[in-house]
Amino acid sequence: MRTHTCSALRSNDISKEVQLIGWAQRIRDHGGKKFIDLRDREGITQIVFDPDVTENFEVIETIRRESVIQINGIVGARPEGTVNEKHKTGEVEVVVSNFTIINNCEVLPFDIDEEHYKDVNEELRLEYRYLDLRRPEMQKSLINRSKFMNYIRNYMSQRDYIEVETPILTASSPEGARDFIVPSRKSHGSGFALPQAPQLFKQMLMVSGLEKYYQIAKCFRDEDLRKDRQFEFTQLDVEQSFTSQEELFNFVEGLVKSSFKDVYGVEIEGDIKHISYHEAMDKYGCDKPDLRIQMDSLVDISKLAKTCGFGVFANNAKSGGLVKGLRLENGQELLTRNEIDKLISLSQKEFGAKGLAWMKVLLDENNTILDGSIVKFFNEEEQKSIISMFNAKPGDLLFFISDSYTATNEILDSLRRYLAQEFDLIDTNKHYLSWTTDFPLFKWDEEKKCLDFEHNPFTMPLEKDVEFIMSCTRENLEENKEKLLSLVSDCYDLVYNGVEISSGAQRISNPKLQQKVFELTGWTQKDIEQAFGWFVNAYKFGAPPHRGFALGLDRIIMILEGKASIRDVIAFPRNKHGFDPLTKSPAPLKMEQLRDLGLQVKDKKKEN
C-alpha cells in the first residue's frame, strides 16, 4: 500500500513518483493550497494538495486530523526558506496527484499533538489509550522496550541459557505479597493463584538439571499501586546451577552495562561498588543508595545522645532507638527560617517524622560553634563532638531525627533525597550501579513474637553459619536469638541511581537445612507440607547448588526513558487505583459466571 514510509524520502528522491499512507497529523491552508503532515510509525512527510494538480481537490475539506489517507504524488524540493530541519524529510514534500480517504476520524477526545498533550488528564489518556499510543513519544518508549527485550534474549541465548515458560495458573504460596486468586469451575471452593514470580518453578528446573534458565516472565501481585508498581509486571527471571556469587555478579553486570549502552547509549560510571546492607543503612538510611547525590553520609550520634540533656534524644537512645542526622552544606544560604519550618512540616506530613530537630553552624571569633533551640542541652564537649562528627563548617545546617532504627533511617533517607532534588545536588549526567549484599537472614516478628524470614524461606545463609543454624532448636531459640538475628544471607540487590532493579540470592539446596530454617521460624511439618510439600520433596533427590536473580524490566525502562511512571512504558496499564479505563476492568461478574464457579457475592454494607 506504499512505496516508502513517511521518514524515507530525501532530496535524492526528487521527481520520483511515490505512494504513501498514514495519519493526517496537521492540516494547514496556505493561499489555496492545502498542506498535511502525513505520519506513520517511522516519521513525517509534508504532502501538498494543489487545485491545479490534485484530483478531487474539494474532497480535502472533509478530511479531519488523524484520518488515515493514502496518496500518490511526485516528490519535490521544498521552496527556499521552508526547509524543516526537525524532520529527516524536511528538505522535500510530495505534491499529491490523487488520494483516497481510507478512514475518516471523528472529533478527537483530546489533542494528541506533542505540544498540547501534557495538559491532558491521565484518566482520559488511558481510556483512549490507542490514541495516546499514536504519539511518537509513546511509540519510542515501546519500540525501545522491544529492542531491550530482544537484546536480552540474544544475550542470554548466546551464553547457553535456556528459555522456559512456567505456569501462569499455579498453586498459591506465601511469598510476601497477596496472590491474585482464580476460582476453579471444576472444583468449587478450590482455585489457582497467578504467580508472584516463577521462583519455585525455576528452582525446580535446576533440580531437573537444566543448569541455565531464563524467562521474560509476567508476574502478578495484588498490592497497592504506585508510580513504579502495577498489578502485573514483567521481569527477566534467571537461575543457574554450579556458579559462585562473583561469577553471577560479573554476568549480570555485563548484561546490564551492555544493554544500557546498546539500546539507550547509557554508560555506567567506574567500578561497581559492593556495599553491605548494614553499611548502606548506616551511611544512607536505605539499602538502595543513590550514589549521584552530592551530600555527606548520615551521622549516628546515638551514643553521644545518651548522656545529653535533651530528653527526647537521650530517652530514645537509652531505650535502643536511633538518633541520627545529616548535614546540608551552606544550608543557611539555601533555607530561611520560614523555609526550615516548612521542611519540618513536610517531614511530619510526608516522611512520617514526629519532629525534626536542627542546628546552625556559625563562626564566633574564629571558633566554629552551634546555635539553635536544642543546642543548650549539649555541653561544650558534646557540641565539639557533633561538629567533628559531621565535619560541619560555618554556614551549614544540621538536621536530626530520633526514632526507632527503621523509622529514623527511612525518614532521613527521604529527607536526604528531597534536599538533593530541591537544591540540585544530584549529578543527573552520571549513571551508577552498586550491589547491596549481606542482607539479614532473619528478622523478629514483634506481633507473633517469633523469628521470620527477611526475604523468603529459600535464601541461603553464609556457609560459615550453617553448622550453628543446624545446632539451634525451638527449645534453645531464646538463648540463640541475638546471634540468629545477626546472621546474614547470600542475598543481593542491584541498584541503579537509587532504584533497586534486581534482587537475587543463593538458594538452600540441602533439604535438612531447609527443614531447619522452617522449624526455627515456627513452621510445623503440616504447614510445610501444605504450602511447599511438592517443592521441598524434590530437594531430596540430589539438588544442585544454585542461585539466581530477577531484573525488573518495567522499572528499568521507565528510568532509562526518563519517565515518572511505569504506566508510560507499558502499552495498556491500569491507573493508580488499579482500574483500566479502556476495558473498564475489573468489572462485576455476571450471575451465570458466579454460578458456574460456585461463588456468591456478599453485600459488604449488610455484612458490616
Residue 18 neighbours by CB under 8 Å, 6+ apart: 3, 4, 9, 72, 73, 74, 75, 94
The second-level CATH assignment, the architecture, of 11-103 is: Beta Barrel (2.40)
Please provide the average confidence, as pLDDT, over all residues in the chain.
Answer: 94
Rounded to an integer, what distance in angstroms lies between the CA atom of residue 400 and that of residue 298? 10
Q: What is the mean pLDDT of residues 563-588?
A: 93
Q: What is residue 448's predicted lDDT score, i.e. its pLDDT?
A: 81
pLDDT tops 90 at residue 218: yes
What is the model's pTM?
0.90
Residue 206 has pLDDT above 80, yes or no: yes
What's residue 54's pLDDT? 95
Per the listing, cell 567500578 goes with 271
Ranges for all domains in the chain classified under CATH 2.40.50.140? 11-103
Beta strand 397-403 pairing with 491-496: unpaired
Torsional class of 296: left (φ above 0), alpha (ψ -120 to 50), beta (otherwise): beta
Per CATH, the number for 137-273+552-592 is 3.30.930.10
Quick one: average pLDDT of 262-275?
Answer: 95
Averaged pLDDT for residues 518-535: 89
Instruction: Considering the chain, tell me which residue range(s) the CATH 3.30.1360.30 domain(s) occupy.
Output: 293-426
**pLDDT given at position 605:** 74
Question: Average pLDDT for residues 217-231, to the nearest whole number?
Answer: 88
CA angle 603, 605, 606 (to 5 degrees): 70
Q: Under CATH, what is the fold of the domain 293-426?
A: Gyrase A; domain 2 (3.30.1360)
pLDDT score at 608: 67
Q: How confident is the model at residue 450 (pLDDT cuts 50, 70, 90)?
A: confident
List pLDDT tens digits, range 486-505.
999 999 999 999 999 999 99
- Which residues make Cβ contacts (< 8 Å) with residue 506, sequence separation at least 6? 245, 459, 460, 490, 491, 545, 546, 547
The reported pLDDT for the residue numbered 262 is 96
CB 231 within 8 A of CB 180: yes
